[in-house]
Structure 1
Amino acid sequence: MHNEVIAHIKSRKSELIEKWIDRVKEDADERMVNVVSEQVFQGTSYEFFDLILLSLSEKDHEYKNKLQMFSEKVVRLGWPITFVVSGLRKFIHLVHDDLIEQGVVSKEREGEYLESLDEWLAPLSNEIIHTYASTWEKTVSLQKIALQELSAPLIPVVEHISIMPLVGTIDTERARLIMENLLDGVVSHRAEVVLIDITGVPVVDTMVAHHVIQAAEAVHLVGARCMLVGIRPEIAQTIVNLGIDLNKFITTSTLRKGMEKALEMTNRKIVELEGVN
């Protein structure tokens, strides 16, 4: 029965894949279709179609490699696993319907063929889910490592003055990295004043403020002074409403004002020279 079905699918490949793509698109999230070009969507669909046929091949090594490559591709495209598995289910029903329409299967045997198709593709479905999950975990892990490497660098701008720009949300793990980078940077750069810039932090709640206060106190313990800059009006209001005490630290609304204060604290200032454009 398998050989008969495979021969039918191969002989009607063009017609089947066009119908299948139309059915997949009907239930696809509009964002998934729009974020990639029509050419990429079509190409990925053909890859999936060929992968299904290859799953019955004796070339196990080739199949495993293509399955891994396909999973990596759909993860990059941002297609959820439910979309991929749903496409596989649609393939089963499409082939079943086509077998009946083309007279390959009689009405009496259509249940038998549908059950056979399910049994045929069940292992592939399980393998796709497993490989997709593994690929997704690997991708997320690599992204996390990359973000950690870029997270919260302490940047020396002038002698004895360094800036740590914070961007995005701050959780416990990231707060730990901020503390480590801050203390290591203060010592290695011989910083006397450190500006923690929270302009890019969307929300400052009690936990975030607690982490920032801890970081500032740690900087003080290693002999440097800390300044909190980039406090927007809405952030200032939130801090007041939460009852967070920042009186121990110098605060400014912008990085520029903070830099001017930092220069004063290190006995320097910005001077405009006459006649210099």
Structure 2
Amino acid sequence: MHDKNKALYDYLISHANEITDEWLGKRKYSKNSVYSLEKDADYLRKTNQWVIQILSSSLLDAPNTIIELNEWAQKTASERVRTDTPIYEVIHQFKVFRNVFWDKIHSFVNDTTLQITPSDIIEWEKKINSTLDEVIERFTESYNEITTTRLVAQEALINELSSPIIPIAHEIGVLPLIGVIDTKRAKYIMESTLQQCTSLKISRLFIDLSGVAIMDTMVAQEIFQVIQTLKLIGVETTLSGIRPEVAQTAVNLGIDFSNLSISSTLQQALMDLHLTANKKT
């Protein structure tokens, strides 16, 4: 069996260019796809021949196959993420390549003078398909890990940009909140607000909710917790811009605004602060 495996290995390696050409020849025009027919095939050719080497080596139980497989998966996944290639496109190309690869194995069976038995083919099927499945699994794991890391970084950046405290006077700042606030973002707002108030030496903060269309009980509790926590570090807080529908929902949910400093609009809140300041002078 070893001689037959070695013969098939040699055959596949010697026909690696043909296998790659046949796979590339099945490409179609696809807008913004790395696999599109008009795209430069040099990188695709290189990575495909790497896969051929990995699959062929599995016939010989090569000790470095797993190492090569992991390296290919990480590098290729990184490139596919960088080019924004959807995972379904990659899986489709694996399917196309699998068929091309097995067609070449069938050609070997027809061309060779060796006596190939059904058990030989079954053994090859186990080794090759198992290795290819492992390639796909490792690739998707790497792809998911890279995209998840990217999404987490992007989410952190979006949260940071969407929760800035704007200093408007000595020790006075405004925190305009916009969009949907879920529990996760509300917790981020708390952490960020505390850090920013401390670093900016804010003692009076206006939290404007005019850009928030929906507020449920969990989010309201998080915002109230922000206010209470700010109070503990000496920051006086005023809410402004609560939409009527948000206020109605809050009332229906039994949320108590009585102990909070509230203004109808941010403009009014700032005017009130100016008037109060004038009266003290």
TM over 0.5: yes
Contact persistence 1:194–1:227 (CA under 8 A): yes
Equivalence for 1:225: 236
Could you report, residue by residue, the CA deviation over 1:76-109 in whole angstroms, capped at 9, with x for unpaired residues?
4555545533431331023334766xx5554998
After the TM superposition, which residues 90-109 of structure 1 pair with which residues of structure 2 at under 5 Å, given as runs? 90-97=96-103, 105-106=109-110
- Residues 105/165 of structure 1: CA separation in 2 closer, same or farther (3 Å cut): farther
Larger radius of gyration: 2
User: What SS is found at the alignment partner of 2:168?
Assistant: strand
Could you report, residue by residue, the CA deviation over 1:232-275 in whole angstroms, capped at 9, with x for unpaired residues?
3432332233232223334345433333334334438xxxxxxx
Equivalence for 1:211: 222
Alignment-mate amino acid for residue 196 of structure 1: I
Equivalence for 1:85: 91
Percent same amino acid at aligned positions?
27
- Residues 95/105 of structure 1: CA separation in 2 closer, same or farther (3 Å cut): same
User: What SS is found at the alignment partner of 2:143?
Assistant: helix
Corresponding residue to 1:51 among 28, 31, 47: 47
The offset of 1:118, in angstroms, is 1.7
The offset of 1:196, in angstroms, is 1.0
The offset of 1:207, in angstroms, is 0.8
Does the alignment pair 1:196 with 2:207?
A: yes
Alignment partners' CA distance in 2, 1:230 and 1:77: 42
After the TM superposition, which residues 9-88 of structure 1 pair with which residues of structure 2 at under 5 Å, given as runs? 9-11=16-18, 13-19=20-26, 21-22=27-28, 37-38=32-33, 41=36, 43=39, 47-48=43-44, 50-55=46-51, 56=53, 67-79=73-85, 81=87, 83-88=89-94
Does the alignment pair 1:251 with 2:251?
A: no
Question: Unaligned regions of 5+ residues in structure 2, if any?
Answer: 1-7, 58-63
Alignment partners' CA distance in 1, 2:269 and 2:83: 42
Alignment partners' CA distance in 2, 1:118 and 1:93: 11
Alignment partners' CA distance in 1, 2:200 and 2:272: 19
Matched residue count: 254
Equivalence for 2:121: 112
Alignment partners' CA distance in 1, 2:266 and 2:22: 62
Equivalence for 1:182: 193
Alignment-mate amino acid for residue 236 of structure 1: A
Alignment-mate amino acid for residue 220 of structure 2: A
The offset of 1:205, in angstroms, is 0.5
Alignment partners' CA distance in 2, 1:133 and 1:182: 31
After the TM superposition, which residues 143-158 of structure 1 pair with which residues of structure 2 at under 5 Å, given as runs? 143-147=154-158, 149-150=160-161, 152-158=163-169
The offset of 1:210, in angstroms, is 0.9
Question: Unaligned regions of 5+ residues in structure 1, if any?
Answer: 26-32, 269-277
- Residues 15/90 of structure 1: CA separation in 2 closer, same or farther (3 Å cut): closer
Question: CA-atom RMSD, angstroms?
Answer: 4.0
Does the alignment pair 1:130 with 2:144?
A: no
The offset of 1:213, in angstroms, is 1.4
Alignment partners' CA distance in 1, 2:40 and 2:132: 19
